[in-house]
Amino acid sequence: MSLALLGVFSNSTAQEKEIELDPITITASLTPVSASKTGRNILIIKGDALQKLPVQSIDELLRYVPGVEVQSRGPMGAQGDITIRGGTFQQVLVILDGIRLNDPLTGHFNSYIPISPAEIDRIEILKGASSAIYGTEAVGGVVHIISKTFAAKKQSNGHKINAQLTAGDYGLFNTQAGISMHQENTTASVGVLTNNAKGQPLRGTKGYFNLTTISASIKQQLNENTSVAYRFGYDDRAFNAQNFYTTFLSDSATEAVVSRWHHFKLQYQKNKHRFSFDAGYKQADDVYRFRKAVSPNVNNSSLFQSLAIHDYTINDKSSITSGVQFISRKITSNDRGNHEVSNAGAFVVLNQKIGENLQLNPALRVDWNERSGWEIIPQLNASYRMESILFRGSLGRTTRDADFTERFNNYQRNPVPSGQRIGNPDLTSETSFSYEFGADYFITPSFKLSTTWFERFQDDLIDYVTTPYATMPRQVNLTPGGTYLLTSNINKVNTTGIETDVQYTHQFTDDHSLAGGLGFIWMRSRSSDTVPSLYVSNHARELINFNVIYRYKKLGFSVNGLYKNRRAQPIASPFVPISKDYFLLSTRVDLFLLKNKLAVFVQVDNIFNKRYSDLLGSVMPQRWVMGGVKVNL
């Protein structure tokens, strides 16, 4: 269990409890429990991290989490693919306050999270197989964003206000702001995040982006046992998408994605019983234009889901959690057509303590998908505490069905030129078996070392494979003699890795703090196919993430960095080198003018001016200088 980014220290008083190295988590078992009792590798990120680290968006923050890889196409939230443990970007499940966000159209939109940073209490990252609880897509892991309002418990009346303004090179102007309040039985919050820039020069254009997220939520305690909550989110992203999806010189693409999010939650708790019911609805409108002379792809998707969970505490050593879930996905598209698919699942999880040191967490899910039928998904997690060392292990099965882009991309375009991605409606669902074992060594109350070995054995993994026209299963709208990227089931892919992370955090005095985290992961994937696929071959083989935050009196200093090494990408742009390896470093210096309430800062991203590309030919920004002011009241 790594918590390297929990190293974001508190700016309050030395009397506050130091950051725990074994916090309470809900993601691994849906029941509040110490992370050391889950048998899993879990990371916790505090919600105020975006105001303390040199990052401007949630996906940028995740880039520096040990064991998490973000393959970025654009800066500051324009687009980033989240991958964990060498999986593809569709194999990570993103959830907000307990229910899923993964877009029905494409996993490229999964990092478009409809909540402002001001509303985030914490982010829990669960690495490894998690389908027994969460169902499809929880293959490499789960990213769970938990809001302040939905997580709120009894607290004193009052309100908090925070704001941050940032300006810099290339017309950059960013805003973060939020207000939260608690009065008697009511908790509410609202926040906004905007990132805007004319952008660094690209090939014949500029990499502009205008990204806005607005969110609001309210929770009402009806009586001692019952509460209701509601959340609304609006997310609007318009950006230059040159070479986000192709390697063509003629690509001058732009894209705009607007999504709306509604979430209702009912909770009831009395004696040994706890019940919750969630209903969520997401709409997303996507307009992608390859260049001005070409008519745009217009895609509209919707996601409806309901989730009911019951938790029963048997005694002080045993509890059982059960739940049922229903999900409906739809799209209407001038490129992919109109489609709908539903699935449902039921699951049960047992939390059992044996003796004083052993914890077992078996889980079982029965899942039904309208396209692929029934699946049985088991999981077993275990942990054993021996003084300052915690041993943990897990094994389980996962499954994932293809999204609508993987099945139907470019099905209604005519003609489709060589080099494009083509969907495949005949795809079967992926399945995999994963296991892991590791240990956490609590060296001191402020210093922890973690290491984990993991393996994943995948059947029918879905990815894009280079395929000549002659062997394409459908040729009606293709160019004879061309070569395409066909979505295919790869027979077998085995991924092996080891991850190690170190965390240190210490509050010396009221205004003297040091915190930091370092993570290293080594991974190798072996495919049964002789032709390398796009995303499997692109994940990092070695990845190092680190961060350091130091505060002394009125001066604060923070630094983020990462080193990535991978195989050369099989599909490379002729005009932008695909970086086999690269090192990035960003830094930020804060000057506190009014203790913990008012500060000015200077930030430099990519301080060594590295030119690199994560995917295809999409160029990432080089050195970017910015500065600003932040207020906390």
Q: Model confidence over 99-111: pLDDT tens digits?
A: 999 999 998 999 9
Contacts for 223 with CB less than 8 Å, ≥ 6 apart: none
CB 127 within 8 A of CB 119: no
The Cα–Cα gap between 78 and 210 comes to: 8
**CA count, 13 A, side-chain hemisphere, 385:** 17
Q: Are 81 and 112 in contact (CB under 8 A)?
A: no
If pLDDT is split at 50, 70 and 90, which confidence band does 5 have?
very low
- End-to-end Cα, the chain, rounded Å: 34
Q: Which residues have C-beta within 8 Å of that of residue 398, sequence separation ≥ 6?
A: 129, 130, 131, 138, 139, 377, 430, 431, 432, 433, 434
CA distance 248 to 320: 54
Classify domain 4-632 at the CATH topology level: Maltoporin; Chain A (2.40.170)
139, with CB counted inside 10 A (0-12, 13-18, 19+), is buried
- Residue 542 near residue 568 (C-beta atoms within 8 A): no
Q: Say which range, 290-304, 358-372, 556-570, 571-585, has the weakest mean pLDDT.
A: 571-585
229, pLDDT greater than 50: yes
Residue 482 pLDDT > 60, yes or no?
A: yes
pLDDT at 586 over 60: yes
pLDDT tier for residue 402 given thresholds of 50, 70 and 90: very high
Highest-pLDDT range among 311-320, 532-541, 562-571: 311-320
| Token duo for residue 417 | 């030129």
The whole model's pTM is what? 0.92
Query: Which pLDDT belongs to residue 531?
Result: 64
The tokens describing 271, both together, are 């004696």
3 state DSSP class of 7: helix
Q: What is the mean pLDDT of residues 84-92?
A: 89
- For residue 20, what pLDDT is reported? 53
Q: What is the pLDDT of residues 119-177, one digit of tens each?
A: 999 999 999 999 999 999 999 999 999 999 988 776 778 889 999 999 999 999 999 99
Comparing 48 with 591, the larger pLDDT belongs to: 591
The pLDDT of residue 18 is above 70 = no
pLDDT band for position 575 (50/70/90)?
low
**pLDDT of residue 381 exceeding 50:** yes
- Most confident range (mean pLDDT) of 36-45, 70-79, 303-312 is 303-312
Is the pLDDT at 13 greater than 90? The verdict is no
Given a cut of 90, whether residue 204 has pLDDT beyond it is no
Q: Are 235 and 258 in contact (CB under 8 A)?
A: yes
Q: What share of the chain is helix, strand, coil (3-state, %, to 5)?
A: 10, 60, 35
What is the pLDDT at residue 65?
80
Does pLDDT of 473 surpass 70? Answer: yes
Rounded to an integer, what distance in angstroms lies between the CA atom of residue 607 and that of residue 622? Answer: 8
Strand partners, 587: 559, 604
Distance of CA 176 to the CA centre of its chain: 20
pLDDT tops 60 at residue 117: yes
Report pLDDT for 342: 96
Structure tokens belonging to residue 47 = 């919600």
pLDDT band at 22 (very low <50, low <70, confident <90, very high): low
Rounded to whole angstroms, how far apart are CA atoms 206 and 242? 9
Q: Name the token pair of 578.
A: 């695909």
Return the pLDDT at 223: 93
Is the per-residue pLDDT at 192 higher than 80?
Answer: yes
Q: How many CB atoms lie within 10 A of CB 201?
A: 11
Sole residue written with tokens 């997220």: 213
Collapsed DSSP state (helix, strand, coil) of residue 50? helix
Which stretches within 298-437 are classed as H helix? 404-408
What SS3 state is found at 469?
Answer: helix
Q: Which two tokens stand for residue 62?
A: 């995740």
Percent of the chain with pLDDT over 90: 65
Q: How confident is the model at residue 609 (pLDDT cuts 50, 70, 90)?
A: very high
Band of pLDDT at residue 574, cut at 50, 70 and 90: low
For the chain, percent of residues with pLDDT exceeding 70: 94
DSSP state of 415: S
Say if residues 550 and 557 touch (Cβ distance below 8 Å): yes
